[in-house]
Amino acid sequence: MTALPPQPDFQPDELPPTPPEGLPLEQEAPPERGPVRQRSPLPDVLRGLALLGILIVNVQDFAGFRVWTQGGLDRAVQVLTDIFANGRSISLFAMLFGWGAAGLLARQGVGTFLLRHAVLLAVGSLHFIFVWHGDIIANYALLGVFLLLTIQMTAPLLVLLAGGMGAWWLADGVWASVQASLSETQFGRFAGLPQLSSDYGSVVSDRASDFSSNLIGGSIYNAPWLLALFCLGAAAWRTGLLTRPHEHLPLLRRLTGWGWSLGLPLGVLLAWLNTRGDYASGLLAIPVRMGGGLALALGYVGVLGTLAARDQLGRWLAFAASGRVAMSNYIAQSLIMTAVFYPYAGAQFGKWGAASAVALALVVGLAQLPVSAWILRRWGTGPLERLVRALVYGVRPGKKSGEVGR
């Protein structure tokens, strides 16, 4: 969680409830407190794929390299990261968070919704203080409460609201870049890398003292954009886009066409901006990253949604297990990467370039696929997911829940 751009990627929510077949889209399922027991594979696949992309992007912060200083093979890897992952993964996860939160609110009610967000806020706070300064769980938990104001909104109204907030946030970012480029005083680019010590105790103390300001500052700065993504996810839940993709093939085809047509060139522009070390380019990279990220994230939804509608997900289904235990995997990523790079552990911070760091991220992220599948076979859910269920629903942590989906 950071108060200033650029912000590391992550959205840790889990799968929302699936409306039973035959119910109207706006009608709630019969109230039943507890985890959902029916899952659609598409959201889990999208979440698992995005989780891998998130690690690829966040490894820059873990390893401590500056994207605009990379050359040779490191530069080539950074270009691919910017085009296909940077901003794309965070956008996809944020929309899935809104989708899950909207489903939880509709099925379980306000009380369970608020309790779950309080638990997520606690998890994110502990993650920030004891593991990694880039946590975003707490931001999502705090800002997600806004969705209480959208309970009665239809999908078109949610999309309209998202468009207004998102356009304002992107325009404000572009204008900030223009002002910086016209300023007589020129600054170097904002790195956003942490100041680290080899003393873990002092690092924890610094994080604890910074937590409140980071949570408030990050939430205020990112609120319009994140809320826009949450609203798009809520609109997807209202329409059943991810649970019944076969009913939305024309829309999925439009998302594929427009998403890739806009997302790829904006990704190329982002890759070029990330070769420049001036402050104005760094500011412009933020709206380019997130605007292009949203476009290509929707393009990914279009492609995978079309495959799901035709029962052709095939090997992409391997990502579903990782998506089902996304929170546990995300925290595990932080633990592994800080153990490798941070001075109080592996002390590799600032010594790796993009190519080697991204290679490690791919190894860790892909290894989480079979590990996640084994965890689901053995226990039915991840350890953090089980803990959250116990705190929210009262499900005993020791109880195996192989078919439970939330």
**Per-position pLDDT tens, the chain of length 406:** 444 444 444 444 443 443 333 333 333 344 455 555 567 899 999 999 999 999 999 999 999 999 999 999 999 999 999 999 999 999 999 999 999 999 999 999 999 999 999 999 999 999 999 999 999 999 999 999 999 999 999 999 999 999 999 999 999 999 999 999 998 777 788 767 777 889 999 999 999 999 999 999 999 999 999 999 999 999 999 999 999 999 999 999 999 999 999 999 999 999 999 999 999 999 999 999 999 999 999 999 999 999 999 999 999 999 999 999 999 999 999 999 999 999 999 999 999 999 999 999 999 999 999 999 999 999 999 999 999 999 999 866 555 544 433 3
3-state secondary structure the chain: CCCCCCCCCCCCCCCCCCCCCCCCCCCCCCCCCCCCCCCCHHHHHHHHHHHHHHHHHHHHHHHCCCHHHCCHHHHHHHHHHHHHCCCHHHHHHHHHHHHHHHHHHHHHCHHHHHHHHHHHHHHHHHHHHHCCCCCCHHHHHHHHHHHHHHCCCCHHHHHHHHHHHHHHHHHHHHHHHHHHHHCCCCCECCCCCCCCCCCHHHHHHHHHHHHHHHHHHHHHHHHHHHHHHHHHHHHHHHHCCCCCHHHCHHHHHHHHHHHHHHHHHHHHHHHHHCCCCEHHHHHHHHHHHHHHHHHHHHHHHHHHHHHHHCCCCHHHHHHHHHHHCHHHHHHHHHHHHHHHHCCCCCCCCCCCCHHHHHHHHHHHHHHHHHHHHHHHHHHCCCHHHHHHHHHHHCCCCCCCCCCCCC
